A and B are shown apart, each in its own frame.
Chain A
Amino acid sequence: MEPVNDESIITASDLLVKYDRVIALDSFSVSLPQGIIGMLGPNGSGKSTFVKVAMGLKLPDRGTLKINNMIPWMNIDFLRDSIGYMPEYDCLIDELNAITFVSYFGRISGLTKEDSIMRSHTILDFVGIEEERYRKIASYSTGMRQRIKLAQALVHDPPILFLDEPTEGMDPEGREEMLDLVSKIGKSGKTIVICSHLLHEVEKVAEHIVIMNEGKVINSGSIEKVLAGEKETVQIRLNGDPKDIKSFMDYVLKHFSIINSKTSGGKLYLVIKGLESDREFFKIAKEHSLQIRAFRPHVRNLEDFFMMSFEGGE
């Protein structure tokens, strides 16, 4: 886990949050820099509770949380002005049209009527809602509803955004477009916290990853570090007789640390750690009458990192 630093936009330290007897966040400490942050974890891991604490909706039983060096529940109005929130679930007013809905929440955020309407048009253009903005929200598809939720979070131009499952219920094309939007918003200098359980989507846009489970941060780091993998870790594909593969595996198990392995008939896929000499490995494979068909440094994806974090690695 990366240490807390002064450039962090959001820092949580030793947070404990309980709902009656259920512990939602436990010794939760994290430091989030500016950029797009992917907050990953299974359902019930505490992602939404963290957002509620950040918005000052829930007071922690212990610990502190600071956003831009301010404690949410002590500077609630100022901080909520700087936060945009897109909830996971449907929360739109079906009787209104998009422009009325977005400008209404713009006005609630303190914009004047004129500014709010102008800004709503700009934001709806940005999220790709065209003429449909004058239709009642009740007639919108799931994808359009997600865009409206994003638009209301952006209408007052907050520097920090909390997006809870932003692609929920969208088709693949819609998901891509939503991720593009998030990426564009991120490039404008805003800090975006995406709570999600869709790893491949977060991997596409996030610059920083936080993995949570049972109310605790179990791993975190910048996406480059997370996906860089480890030195002396390689992935290898070998062909040969199943008997030879078995004896080779016995040897490998004794001498290397195996991260991943798969056998299928006469094929073996391995990810191993601690390989000091490539030449030595080739020699041993030859001794077991196996052909090396692929040998390259291991490139990790977010799913590997996620699984490894859950298994207690790194």
Chain B
Amino acid sequence: MVHGFTGMILILTPHAELTAEMLIKEGEFGSYLTSGLFAIFAMLLAAGVSSDKIAQDLRNRSFILYFSRPISFVSYISAKIMGAFTVMAFFCIVPPLVIGSLIMATQTGPYYSGGFEVLFRTLLAGSVASFIFLPFGIFLSSITKSKAYAGIGSFMSFFVMTLIGELFSDLSYHWKLVNPVNILAYIFDWIYGFGLPEYVSHIYMIMVLIIMVFLPLFGATVNIKIKGVSM
């Protein structure tokens, strides 16, 4: 539903070439990558994929075996992220690239260079979507042995952030940055060359990204370190 329906519409609609607008700006049936459906899909997938990454090792206490080998805490977390990213990439990078390629294959115009550039930007956008929700999921996975708690906890946290962002955005536009759907949309805008919306502060955006990515990764590393030593 996330990729197939919108993808079919984009492919079947007559077009001269693949453009960034086709993928991220509002079309007749909503935009493909920024309507919110893609972001919610990525959140849900990240919650599911990351939930058992560390929780399983905590549950069976196997992670001390990793640290009895030449593996640092950072390498361990990185490997877990990479494992989750590979699964995420299959659902968040490959389908947009396939759809983009099919749009190019069915285009009526003679120019392809712009389309290849959009494909490259799609690769970057897909990579961001595959990665951005994982650190928080991995962090929750490092504090509980339960896959269900970690998975549901991750998704509910994103969902609550979405609600808060939307509820308070009437007070100030800055609240929009609390909403993960908006964050992903702003990043996509930037990647596809449209820049950030005027009301989005660059500093706040960087702060939000740090909070979403680096803080959970740091927290997960500290958790694992404490648990690795205390076992």
Contact = CB atoms under 8 A, between A and B. Distances in A.
B80 to A, nearest CB: 13
A87 interface: yes
A1 interface: no
B1 interface: no
Contact of A57 (B61, B62, B228): B228
Nearest to B228: A57
A76 B70 contact: yes
B60 A105 contact: no
Given A52-B229, A58-B229, A93 B60 contact: yes
Contact of B61 (A52, A83, A90, A153): A90
Interface in B21-73: 56, 60-62, 64-72
B1 to A, nearest CB: 31
B69 A80 contact: yes
Contacts of A32: none
B231 interface: yes
Contacts of B66: 108
A68 interface: no
Contact of B60 (A52, A57, A91, A153): A91
Contacts of A87: 61, 64-65, 68, 231
A55 B62 CA distance: 16
A176 B77 CA distance: 40
Interface string A52-69: 100101100000000000
Contacts of B61: 87, 89-91
Interface in A105-129: 105, 108-110
Interface string B94-126: 000000000000000000000000000000000
Interface residues of B, number: 17
Contacts of A109: 69-70
A127 to B, nearest CB: 16
Interface string A18-53: 010000000000000000000000000000000010
Contacts of B228: 57
Interface string A67-104: 00000000011101101110101111110000000000
B67 A77 contact: no
A110 B70 contact: yes
Most buried by A among B69, B229, B231: B69
Given A57-B228, A57-B229, A58-B229, A92 B68 contact: no
Contacts, number: 54
Contacts of A52: 229
A239 interface: no
B72 A83 contact: no
B65 A152 contact: yes
B70 A91 contact: no
B229 A108 contact: no
B70 A80 contact: yes
A76 B60 CA distance: 25
Contacts of A57: 67, 228-229
B65 A55 contact: no
B65 A91 contact: yes
Contact of B68 (A80, A94, A110): A80
Contact of B231 (A89, A105, A108): A89
B75 to A, nearest CB: 10
A79 to B, nearest CB: 8
A99 B23 CA distance: 47
Contact of B71 (A85, A94, A108, A152): A108
A71 B168 CA distance: 55
B74 to A, nearest CB: 12
B60 A81 contact: no
A153 B68 CA distance: 9
Most buried by A among B66, B70, B229: B70
A108 B76 CA distance: 11
A92 B231 contact: no
B60 A94 contact: yes
6 contacts: A52-B229, A85-B65, A90-B60, A92-B62, A108-B66, A156-B69
Interface of B: 56, 60-62, 64-72, 228-231
